Structure 1
Amino acid sequence: MGDTARRSSKTDRRGSIGNNAADADLAKLGYTAELPRSLSMLSVLGLSFAIMAVPYGLSTTMLISLTNGQSVTIIWGWVLVSLISLSIAASLAEICAVYPTAGGVYYWSAMMATKDYAKLASWVTGWMNLVGNWTVTLSINFGGAQLILSAISIWNEEWAPTAWQTVLCFWCVMLICFLINAFGSRYLDLINKVCIYWTAASVLIIMVTILTMSKTKRSGEFVFAHFDSSASGWPAGWYVRNPMTFHTYSPFFFLFRSFFVGLLQAAYTLTGYGLVASMCEEVQNPAREVPKAMVMSVAAAGVTGVIYLIPILFVLPDVSYLLAASSGQPIGLIFKQATGSAAGGFGLLFLLLGIMFFAGTGALTASSRCTYAFARDGAIPGSRWFGTTNKRLGIPLWGLVLSTVVDCLLGLIYFGSTAAFGSFTGVATICLSLAYGLPILVSVLRGRRMVKHSTYSLGRFGFVINGICLAWIVLAIVIFCMPVAIPVTATSMNYASVVFFGFVAISVAWYFIRGRKDFTGPPVIADAEPNLTGVAISDDEMGLDHSRSPEDRKLG
């Protein structure tokens, strides 16, 4: 007993010392620690893995890639986007190791920009990140509602849910995720860890079950080389006007427009890794653990996706049958056909529903922290409430409430468009891509000087990796505003651009109403260059401004 007590005491002291050091680093970055540091690296890894929710994300968006290219888009699109996402995650991890705060990307943009542009850079990045957090949570839980209702169609394939049934189910899912976050915050560490094991077990069970029970299997050629974009209506290639004749068109045969539109499936699934930066103030050693979790989660997600997708493609039923699914979610029918029974199909679907609740809960957790951090610096209306924490619950309660209410209201778009889910996934991917890209762009424009002391430095390859990230983000913004299929009607239109520019309008309006006068960005001098590697430097050298208290920053 004495040895156990001594070991426990040593562990507690080490944790306390780590927390004190992290809190001291946070103070140097201009903030007072207000949240308990109860999360480990494994927990943050689990949270990132939960938000990406690979089997669930790939399943709920499979209709997009089946419409736009099928096997080639599904498997090789996943590999391509996984590699690009790994580059983006590494670029963000490099910055996060220097600036580990809950403000995340918006704080990074402000710190790395020059003084003249720090305020604008933080405002734009922060709003893109905030909207991205809200809409990725929305898309996860809305897709979950559709998936829950699709379970009925496993037994009755003619049944289709009404708009009211879908929205009400979505609100119920949001309520459950809200309650878990509000009253079960002490268990978030455990929930995030369990998510890793649940997801791994689910992928293994699904893979073994469908491969052993399916009576028919596709050929290897179909799985790895089949491409068919006929269902999308998009032409096979990218066409440009011939500069010699000005009236004929030349196809770039190596680029398929439909293929790139179909990449939304992979790009949407692989977006959650950057959201965990919002948890930096709840991790014991955020400068080391959070960047590590970012990169590891993307690598693990990439491998998991390949393991999950290949068996699915081997047992894929007739594609026209899946595209005609009344529920809009074909994965349950795939499981039903593979197992040969509705009960077997539901059993496998149940595993995905479990992953969905992990993902929805984790996404709302990150969304509430992002809302809290941005409101803390007076960047959104009502900051005096949304930028506070609830001492009894140990969470930013009002930030959680706002995130939940905004998502529930956005769900009403479904009454006007049956393609709303595609729009939600599109706007989430666009906004998060922009939010991730802006601090990377600022870093490149500043010659990467601000990250030269990072413990996760990309070294000599930094400019190349950052350049690849930025090129992809520019392309993603364009292609993910395109409709999944043509011709386009009012109900099948991709409203991602409409939602995106709607939030841009709100951001611009609030900037002129309040932000232009009162918003000063994070409580730091923009040309600061913090060094959190253990070398003692003064606050003046770091450019830190402690003259503003947390209360001063709540401009509400």
Structure 2
Amino acid sequence: MQEPIELRDRQLDSKLASTSQSRVQDEQGLGRVGKKQILKRRFGFLSILGFSCTILASWEGILSTFTIPFENGGPAGTIYSFLLVWAGTFSTFLTMSELVSMAPTSGGQYHWVSMMSPKWCQKYLSFLTGWLIVIGWLGAFASTCYLSASQIQGLVVLNHPSYVPTAWQAVLLFWFIVAAAVFVNVMASTMLPKFEGFVLILHLVGFFAIVIPLLYLGNHNSASDVFGQFANDGGFQTEGLSFLVGMVGNMFAFTGADAAVHMSEEIHDAEKVVPQSILTSVLINGLLGFGMTLSTLFTMTDATAALASPTGYPYMEIFCSATSSIGGCTVMSAIVPILVITTAVGSLASSSRMVWSFARDRGLPGWRFLSRVNAQAVPQWSILVVTIAAVLLALIILGSAAVLNDVVSLCVSALYTSYLISAFLLIWKRCTGGIREQSEMPVDTLVNTPGAPLAWGPFHIRGALGLAINAFTVVYLTVGVFFSFWPDEMNPTPSTMNWAVVGTAGTSLVSTLYYVFWAKYEYTGPVVEIDRD
């Protein structure tokens, strides 16, 4: 009996030694970019993969924003714009994977912009990028809560046709979803990695629970109807222009893969694991999203009835038509808002870490309070601020739900702009030879922070291929940002106008004024908390 006990002891000692070594390496890696380890590293590859997949939630997003690409593109436009967006997203996050591998901090884009920008605009450009990320993630959190709330109302309409959804009920549902997200992030914060791993299973199982009965029970359109039929319901001058406007719906379904970036300081071996997780999540969600797109289009035999569904969501009518059962349709449809609610949990986590990180670097008012963490190393004040902002945004529904719908475009425009600035600067540094190989730098040298030399991380696409990927990313993001400001139809009314440009430009203006009159005296870019020779 003695030998097995000794063997277990040796295995336990080996595991503890490995864990300790991993912790030291993580702290050293964060120290190389000038940051102290404050948050606790609770996430491994599978848990952060679950986090990335459920935030990206492409197949759920496709169903939620189905009308945008369908009305401006038709069945064929929906498919081809999905493939284009998938390729553009994969290219974008190849670029971002290179950057997060260089500097795996919760600040993400604004840290990268600061370390790569010319000195004359380094502070302001980093500051502006930080504000764009904050407003973009706040928009992502609010839009996720709103989508799930309105989908729950749609389920009630599906089962009780006499029910008339009201704005105040949507607000209450919105607040309930916010409260659920806060509970998981604060009260059950230590369980967040396990929660995200469990949701990954639901994300995969839910997809097959919908697609299998949908394809088996539903009538099918012909391949020519699906792949060859375009539409221009927005009345634009050409179908090509209509296609690009509708593409924004698919872009929203792929927005958010940078969520894992803002959790970097809570992930073991982040400089390797974060690139692996976000690229794997884009691949998985792309496959699932494409499968859901094809399944929905092939079984949507009555497009007019689907688009006119009293639930507000065509996918519910498509499910009912396929199953010929209200009960079956309800079960299938309920999977979507349940998973969207879990997406809200991750959105709150990511947005609060971004607020915490930006406050730590003195980029937000009240940064002394917002940069604090509790005994469990959870940034509770940042969570509180994001929660209050979302609760107040929900009141917009009482005036017009159409205005809150523009938060979808705001989310795309703000986050895509932050990606664009980062990608453009990476190309500039790449072409000017400003980034050295990691092996050329001493281990204890401060790198990848303002004023320090730049060095590639473990994930690096070398040579012309890497430059070509970065260039394609810039082109794709430029097109995406431009069309995220367009309305869904020509000659829009105030209620159908896309006001995302107001939100994005307003954020830029407010942040610029705040910078000029106050922040430029405090904000210097990412604060170097660890001095190294």
The residue correspondences of 1:531-550 to structure 2 (distance < 5 A) are 546=531
Tell me the CA shift for residue 32 of structure 1. 1.4
Listed as ranges, the matches of 1:521-540 within 5 Å are 521-524=525-528
Pairwise CA distance, 1:368:
0.6
CA offsets, 1:233-287, max 9 Å, x none?
22334xxxxxxxxxxxxxxxxxx11111111121111111112111111111011
Write the deviation string for residues 412-470 of structure 1: whole angstroms up to 9, x where unpaired.
23333332343111010111111111111111122353375332212121221111111
Letter in 2 for 1:172: F
Unaligned runs of 5+ in 2: 438-455
The whole-number CA distance in structure 1 between the counterparts of 2:530 and 2:117 is 16
1:134 is matched with 138
C-alpha distance in structure 1 between counterparts of 2:336 and 2:108, whole Å: 30
Please state how far the C-alpha of 1:519 moved relative to its aligned partner: 0.8
The residue number in structure 2 matching 1:90 is 94
In structure 2, distance between residues paired with 1:220 and 1:154? 30
CA 1:58–1:451 in structure 2 vs 1: closer, same or farther (change >3 Å)?
A: farther
Instruction: Please tell me whether residue 179 in structure 1 is matched to residue 197 in structure 2.
Output: no
Q: Report the equivalent of 2:411.
A: 428
SS at 1:446's partner residue? helix
TM superposition shift of 1:157: 4.4
> Structure 1's 79 and 8: CA in aligned 2 closer, same or farther, altered over 3 A?
farther
Residue of 106, 112, 116 corresponding to 1:108: 112
C-alpha RMSD over aligned residues: 1.8
Residue 460 of structure 2, aligned match among 457, 462, 475: 457
- Cα distance in 2 for residues equivalent to 1:497 and 1:166: 25
1:343 equivalent in alignment to 2:335: no
- What is the CA-CA distance between 1:295 and the residue it aligns to? 1.1
- Following superposition, the deviation at residue 199 of structure 1 comes to 1.1
- Please state if 1:222 is matched with 2:225: yes
Establish whether residue 332 from structure 1 lines up as the match of residue 316 from structure 2. Answer: yes
| Deviation string, structure 1 residues 26-49 (Cα, Å, up to 9, x no partner) | 123222111111100111111111
Deviation by residue 1:461-513 (Cα, 9 ceiling, x = unmatched): 12211111111211112211111124412222212112222222321222123
2:370 aligned with 1:390, yes or no?
no
- For residue 288 of structure 1, the aligned residue among 266, 272, 276 is 272
In 2 relative to 1, CA 157–309 (structure 1 residues): closer, same or farther, beyond 3 Å? farther
Greater shift, 258-267 or 445-454, is seen at 445-454
Cα distance in 1 for residues equivalent to 2:512 and 2:80:
39
Contact 1:419–1:494, Cα closer than 8 Å, also in 2: no
Other-structure match for 1:484: 488
Cα deviation code 1:344-387 (max 9, x no counterpart):
11100122122112211011110110010001011011111111
**2:145 matches 1:150:** no
Distance in 1 of aligned mates of 2:28 and 2:142: 35
1:65, 1:265 within 8 Å by CA — same for their partners in 2? yes
Whole-Å separation in 2 of the counterparts to 1:513 and 1:45: 41
Name the % identity: 25
1:252 is matched with: none
Distance 2:506 2:301 in 1: 40
1:76-96 CA distance string (max 9 Å, x none)? 211110011000000000111
- Pair 484,159 (structure 1): closer, same or farther in 2 beyond 3 Å: farther
1:32 aligned to 2:36?
yes
Aligned pairs for 1:246-261 within 5 A:
256-261=240-245
Equivalent-residue separation in structure 2 for 1:194 and 1:465 (angstroms)? 34
Aligned residues: 507
**TM-aligned CA distance change 1:451 to 1:294, over 3 Å:** farther
CA shift in 2, pair 1:198/1:224, >3 Å:
same
Partner of 2:446: none
Letter of the 2:14 counterpart: K
Deviation >6 Å, runs of 4+ = none
3-state SS in 1 of match to 2:368: helix
**Which residue of 2 is the match for residue 446 of structure 1?**
429
What is the distance in 1 between the residues matched to 2:411 and 2:436?
Answer: 27
Q: In structure 2, what is the equivalent of residue 242 of structure 1?
A: none
What residue in structure 2 maps to residue 357 of structure 1? Answer: 341
In the alignment, the residues of structure 1 paired with residue 35 and residue 159 of structure 2 have an alpha-carbon distance, to the nearest angstrom, of: 55
For residue 365 of structure 2, what is the aligned residue in structure 1? 381
Which amino acid is the alignment partner of residue 220 of structure 1? A
Cα distance between partner residues in 2 of 1:405 and 1:158: 34
Contact 1:82 1:302 in 2 (8 A): yes
- Matched residues in 2 for 1:446 and 1:465: separation? 15
Scaled by the length of structure 1, the TM-score of the pair is 0.88
